[in-house]
Each structure stands twice: as structure tokens, then as C-alpha cells.
Structure 1
């Protein structure tokens, strides 16, 4: 399961977390192999890979497993839906992966971060990402003084303390680990910062276009938005997550019975859909994406 989620709506947290437990979280637990961390504490679990997301991200856990199988956990990687932040568009380095879409860190990356936070290669402590610098776990510089984390690995503002992914990305860049293109072989995102309906309808905010402006092909409208081995969708509420999970894992049934049967599972009202979600409309290709494009990998 993912590391502890960032909760944007505490009143709905229980329903969201129960949905994860009942859908893709169970798929991840049933996989058996210890390829994903159960907590983000490197010293305790020493995972091959850590996958971070929040509680209204829906994950196709089997596709996450199959994707990471092709990777060497000792290689430092930082994989997700990469954003180029303002001021970095002409530097050729995409530093920030969307926390909403979810991102992967390997053991190699965690090791580098751990060393930095603990006072190794200019390091300090893990809590430096979101809080003030704590030198209590650092190492001596040989002259009796404790070394803290490098400045690149410390939150520089209250905004960054509330959005630790920014500091994490900058720290990884300092350590030589950059976000890479994770689109599929035929294009389309594996890690998506919107739900499937909005992607199929092409209803994307301007900021999303802006952060991908210098990264052509990072998203498209319709079924081409997503890779056939898509891993995640963001802004997916509990009822929508349950519908998607059932449809994706019973696709042959709904290809036979038709899209209307699949649509009958979808939450109808805005309240049940959750924030920023939408209901499929005739001709918007949502079910072409879910039923014809996306495949659930056999993780066995």
C-alpha cells in the first residue's frame, strides 16, 4: 500500500481509505512479493520500491508491479508524471513528479536520500523535508560540529513545508536523480493527474498544459491520454474508484454486454462522484479508454 496519504478532505478520509483497502490496496497486498513499502521509513522496511500517492488516487496495482519488475531497485530512480516548474523550462531538467498522480522511488534513491538526511553527502534527517532542520541525527564534520542536510534538501518556506514533494524533488536533483519520461511505448501517461473521464473528455486545466508545455506529448485527449499499462489516476472518489476497479477487472464482460452496462456502475451525482470528477457522456471515449485501451497486467 502507499505511504500515509496527504488528506485534502479529512471528513472523507475514512471512506477513501476504506475504498483503497477494498480495491487496489487489496490487489497490492495479495501480490505477496515485498516490492512495495508498507511505510516510508527506510530503516525499518528497506523496500525495493516505495510508491507515494494520496488517498484519492486510484492505482492499478498489478500494472505498478509489472512496471517496477523491469527496474533494478539498486538504481536511483524517481518516476511519475513529471512537471517542469516555472523558471526551469529552459534548463533541460524536469525536477518535480506529481504527487497527485503518484511517484516511485527505488531503494537506490531512498539510500541516497537517507544518507543526505542523516548527514552523509551533506545530509541531515528525514523530517527536514517538511519541517525545521534537526541536527540531532547528523554526523560530526571532524571538528566537533554536527552537519545538517544540504540546503537543497530543506524546505525553504511554509509553502514547501506544506508541499514536501517540491523539496524532495530538489533534494533528489542535488543528488543527481531526475524525473524521467515515463510515458508508454506508444505514448500516453502511466501516471495521471486527472481521472479517466476528464482525460477522455479533454477537460484539462491550463496549469496542466503549462507544466507540460516544454514536454510535448506528455498528455493527449481521449484514449491516447494514457498508456495501455496505465498505473494511476488522480481525483477519483470512492464510488468512482469502486466502479473503475470492477470494470477494469471484468473488462471482457462489459465489452460483451456493452458500455451501458459499465455506465450503470458509475456514480451519477456530483456529490457521489467527488471533487473534480465527472460522469461519462455519450461519445467521450471514457469506456474506449477503460475497456479497449488499458490492460491489467498479470502480476503473478
Structure 2
């Protein structure tokens, strides 16, 4: 893969990183996995990603569908059993394939997610990619010591962490961490057995709002969260709230957003002046009605939600 220019996003980030060039920015390889939710929308989501936050980025689609073809120039890695539960061999095959490419950070994310690229790059700039590091949204299996990072909104992992895992992956004899879900198994092995530094970053000011959000900004604000998510966060000793402190002011990612939501939120957050100047009717039209079953509709009575969306920031684009 040849690294494409960062295009518009690079111009946006330039004012954050000074006179940075593409070579000086964190080198990220994005690997997009099909969500098990509404799989028939997979291609629409991929198109939305490549038209918005993935434009000009190194994006790979990871699929178990042998017939899936490259979309808008984004390569497809055909890895068995990448939807739902993945076996150990499939997990390591994915990581070995990734190690064939040049990158500092590997970002694994579902196809129903929005990534705010400048915010991600700013966050990764604060971490040493030459050390074993894992960054994302920490959750845990209740009643166990299995701590892992949810792949929905995405997690970023440094190259040394992947290499450490491939060289020393926990063998079957270490039954204490085994699990059928690859994120759980891999991250538990990395954190509990191999000592990989794991971080679940929060808002820089209040320390509450999450950087990596499992739900859309609307669902995160309005609530409630699903019980399974509340239980998994509680098990990981992570605080979650609704309202204005639900998400970091400079969030990195949101999950459970359909193609229309990806496009709408990307437009809202990258063109904040237009959003702020729009009428309530225009804002409702922008958000549309095609939302994820795990998301929440916005109605004419949701003025606080519409106001909240104008408070979300992207580095280099807008600040008060």
C-alpha cells in the first residue's frame, strides 16, 4: 500500500501540528470490519467512510466474504471468521497480514463508526508508538478479570504491541484468559500476560467524557445506554454518563451510526459554522431519519441535543 495524501484533513490538522507534513503525522493503517448488526448495509457504510473520514487515508476492509471486492480503491483482506466470533488462527492471520504493511498504529474499527481524524491524530501524537501501547474504550466481562477494548468505535495499537503478541501469544495452556471473542482474548493476553500499556482516555478538562464512544453522540447525550454496556463499563471500573459530559469535547470516535449518520455527523463536526447558523428545521433535515437501531432519533423537541452537537470540537477546525 502507498500512503495517500491526507487531503483536506491534513490541511485541517496542519494548524495543530504546525508545519507538519504527512510524513510527520502519526502513520495509521485503518482496518474496517463488518458489523454483525444489519450486515446488508455493509457496502453503504464503507462508501460513507471512504467519502468522509476515510478519504485520503489508508483504509483496508477486512472481510470473511471471499466475493467482496475493493471499494473506491480500498483493498480487501479476506480473513476467515472476522464477523462475530473469530478463532485464534483468524485473529493472528489478521495481525500477521497487517504486519506486512508499514505503519506506526493499527486502527481496528467497525463499519458503522465515525472517526474524527484530527482528534485521533492529536491523541496518538501524545503516545510513543515505539512502545507496546493499546488505546481505546475499556470494558470488562462482569465477574471476570478479562479486560479488553471494544472494537466498535475502534482501538489503536502500536506496532511493537502487535509484534509482542505475535511473538509471545498466550498458548492454550494459559486457559485462564481464553475466550471465543478475539478482542477479549487478544487484549487480555496483552494486558494481563504481556504487560502492554493500555489506556482508555477521557476528556482533558472534566475527566468524564469518553474519547471512544460506543454509541452515537445523540444516544450518548439522550441515553439510556444498554444494560450490557453499563455492566461491562462498571466491571472495568469506568464511569459513564449521559448529558453534556457523555463524550469528550474532542472525541475520537462514535459507534452504531449508519451511513447517513456518518455523513451527517461528519458534515456537522467539520463545518461547525454552517451547523450553528442553520435553522432547527435544517438541522433535523441534516440528521435525517436513517439511524442505527442502537441509535436514537432526534425530534423537534430535542433542542438541547442540537445545541450539544455544536459543542463537539475537531482540532484545527473550530474553537471558541
Shorter-chain TM-score bucket reads: 0.7 to 0.9
Of residues 241, 257, 282, the one that matches 1:261 is 282
Of residues 19, 22, 43, the one that matches 1:14 is 43
Of residues 180, 187, 205, the one that matches 1:169 is 187
Give the SS at the match of 1:226.
coil
Give the SS at the match of 1:286.
helix
The answer to which structure has the higher strand fraction is: 2
Shift in Å at residue 216 of structure 1?
5.8
- Per-residue CA deviation, residues 208-237 of structure 1 (Å, 9 max, x unaligned), is 221222556632111210001101111100
Query: Which shifted more, 15-24 or 275-284?
Result: 275-284
Shift in Å at residue 154 of structure 1?
11
Between the aligned partners of 1:7 and 1:52, the Cα distance in structure 2 is 12
Look up the match of 2:71. Answer: none
Of residues 145, 158, 163, the one that matches 1:106 is 158
> Runs (4+) of structure 1 moved beyond 4 Å?
150-157, 214-217
Between the aligned partners of 2:177 and 2:34, the Cα distance in structure 1 is 17
Task: Please give the TM-score of this superposition, normalised by the length of structure 1.
Answer: 0.75
Look up the match of 2:54. Answer: 25
What's the C-alpha RMSD, in Å, of the aligned pairs? 2.7
Query: Gapped runs of 5+ residues in structure 2?
Result: 1-28, 60-75, 78-94
Of residues 214, 239, 257, the one that matches 1:236 is 257
Q: Cα–Cα, structure 1 residues 22 and 165, in superposed 2: closer, same or farther, change >3 Å?
A: same
2:65 corresponds to 1:3: no
Task: Please give the TM-score of this superposition, normalised by the length of structure 2.
Answer: 0.70
Q: Cα–Cα, structure 1 residues 4 and 247, in superposed 2: closer, same or farther, change >3 Å?
A: closer
2:226 corresponds to 1:197: no
Between the aligned partners of 1:100 and 1:257, the Cα distance in structure 2 is 31
Of residues 145, 168, 186, the one that matches 1:116 is 168
Shift in Å at residue 21 of structure 1?
0.6
Number of residue-to-residue matches in the alignment? 250
Q: Is the 8 A contact 1:3 1:53 kept in 2?
A: yes
Q: Is the 8 A contact 2:45 2:258 kept in 1?
A: yes
Look up the match of 1:56. Answer: 112
Between the aligned partners of 1:65 and 1:245, the Cα distance in structure 2 is 16
